[in-house]
Amino acid sequence: MVLAAGDLRLSMNWLDTLILVIYFAVVLGIALAARRSVSNSLDFFLAGRALPAWVTGLAFVSANLGATEILGMAANGAQYGAYTVHWYWIGAIPAMVFLGLVMMPFYYNSKVRSVPEFLLLRFSRSSHLLSAVIFAVASVLIAGVNLYALAIVLRALLGWPLPISILLAGVFVLAYIVIGGLSSAIYNEVLQFFVIVAALVPLTALGLARVGGVSGLVEKVTAQQGDMFLSTWAGTGFGETNPLGTNWLTITLGLGFAISFGYWTTNFAEVQRSLSAKNLSAARRTPLIAAFPKIFIPLIVVLPGIIALVVEPTIGKTGGYDYNDAIPILMRDLLPNGVLGLAVTGLMASFMAGMAANVSSFNTVFTTDIWRAYIKPHMPDAHYLRVGRAITAIGVVIGMGTAFLAASFSNIMNYMQTLFAFFNVPLFATFILALFWKRMTAKAGFWGLLLGTAAPIAFYFAYQAGIVEMGSDQGANMTASMIAFAVDLLVSVPIALATTPKPDAELEGLVYTRAAARDEGVAAAGDDAWYRKPAVLGWGALVLSAACYVPFTL
């Protein structure tokens, strides 16, 4: 597949190159500094559980600012318009708040090192192994998306072919994770967050200036795409049509509940950042702090995708550019040298942040949930530290291979949401039953998770074969996620009722109670301040995200 049209080349000068070189030097410097704090496997996999909330909070949102966010959401903006904000305000914020307010006490207090390990404590070894394998597969597939996205930029910069671009990107990410472990990844993600924002804000501002400001953009997009393109709920009634090709119920249940909660509450690439916090209060605040910048990310990601349609009308057209090319096109056409170097650095940072998040979670799950649990138990801690570093290299190599799968999609967000429907949604359904229903059993968890994963995969292939017709790829993904959740529940509940659950004594701390959910843990100085209260942060984020819908629904 051709990564981008032949004339999509970015002309960087010495200043742009210098900015990029300085950034890479700083990243490796952080990794070398973080190495000094890595003395055991807990340091490598969970940063010693010693990081403050503001660091883990920024790392939490930065870990998601990978290819999924930058190229993927810009591609979604170009293909689906303002409907893309649903992925943020209904498809992220409520789930992030739920994670911080409800689920983190159970993750953190159980001292688990991964999401699958929670299922080991709650269910059995079979459910644990199945979830670990599913998560490991999903992690390397998503890591491949980030490598492919970086290859698009390297192609635009240097004209390099896909294999070389993927190889060099993978080697660099491998270096700073192996050297410094999760601490290196997290501190680099904090740096990457600021670099990404600094890179995308000028791109958005110059793009708006190019199309005549907000009013000019509205006029041009409306003339080109129609009135619905800049709305969020128009045409989502049953039997109506809209660019997203789905209805309000599918958006609410498929995206806003199944995909969103499945991703944000069980995706260990995100949860791992919270688990690395210094205490329970910081762990709960991690996704809540991250929710506030997440609300405004569409301004620098989705909006440029819509602007790109005006700047380059051939996007998405036969013989034109892919939707994935929206951001590189704006960089080529709008950014002067110096600012271009900063933007390229921001893109590099975003892809490495996304890949590092998935690779660091992959090495944790493989080492603790597969290797330690089933292959080499009861080994010295130094052994698991060595295995963690070795499996990191293997994960990167596998990610290089899966990058070629992402290359078959003109909109990588379609691919990402497909993966979430396959892997995250059934895991969430199993997890939510395990957390809120004492009657849930190990056999029910295993078969619910297995068949809940198989069902959306079968639906997807039926959609691809034309057996099932849907309005769009994203509409198909949302429907697949609802099928995954429903099948998991329909399989799990009867089996649970027919089998014997664990006694209450073995479920302490693993099943929801109001007292456990309200546990604030050991407080640090300043944790009792009103603005640090999880409830204040959580409800504030929900109200703010709801208010953001107003301009798009009037």
- Amino acid, res. 112: V
Output the pLDDT for position 139.
80
Kind and range of the H or E run holding 344? helix 339-365
In DSSP notation, 235-297 reads T-STT---TT---HHIIIIIIIIIIHHHHHHH-HHHHHHHHTBSSHHHHHHHHHHHHHHHHHG
- What's 273-290 look like in SS3? HHHCECCHHHHHHHHHHH
Give me the mean pLDDT over the 531-535 stretch.
84
CA distance 16 to 509: 53
Residue 463 main-chain phi, psi, to 5 deg? -65, -45
Q: What angle do CA 338, 340, 346 make, to 5 degrees?
A: 110
Q: How confident is the model at residue 163 (pLDDT cuts 50, 70, 90)?
A: confident
Over the stretch 364-377, which tens digit does the pLDDT of each residue have? 788 888 888 888 88
Examine the pLDDT at 227 and tell me if it is beyond 70.
Answer: yes
Over the stretch 133-159, which tens digit does the pLDDT of each residue have? 888 888 888 777 777 777 766 666 666
Examine the pLDDT at 523 and tell me if it is beyond 80.
Answer: no
Q: Three-class SS of residue 51?
A: strand
Examine the pLDDT at 6 and tell me if it is beyond 60.
Answer: no
Over the stretch 313-343, which tens digit does the pLDDT of each residue have? 888 887 778 888 888 888 888 888 777 877 7
Is residue 100 within 8 A of residue 292, CB to CB? The reply is no
Output the pLDDT for position 410.
66
Residues of the chain with pLDDT > 90, as a percent, come to 23
Over the stretch 426-474, which tens digit does the pLDDT of each residue have? 988 998 899 889 999 999 999 999 999 999 999 999 998 888 888 788 8
Examine the pLDDT at 119 and tell me if it is beyond 90.
Answer: no
All structural domains of the chain, each given as residue ranges with its CATH number in brackets, are 14-552 (1.20.1730.10)
Over the stretch 10-55, which tens digit does the pLDDT of each residue have? 667 778 788 878 877 777 676 666 666 555 555 444 444 557 777 7
Is residue 230 within 8 A of residue 218, CB to CB? The reply is yes
Supply 542's token pair. 């929900």
Output the pLDDT for position 535.
87
> Could you tell me the sign of the dihedral formed by the alpha carbons of 482, 486, 492, 497, in that order?
positive
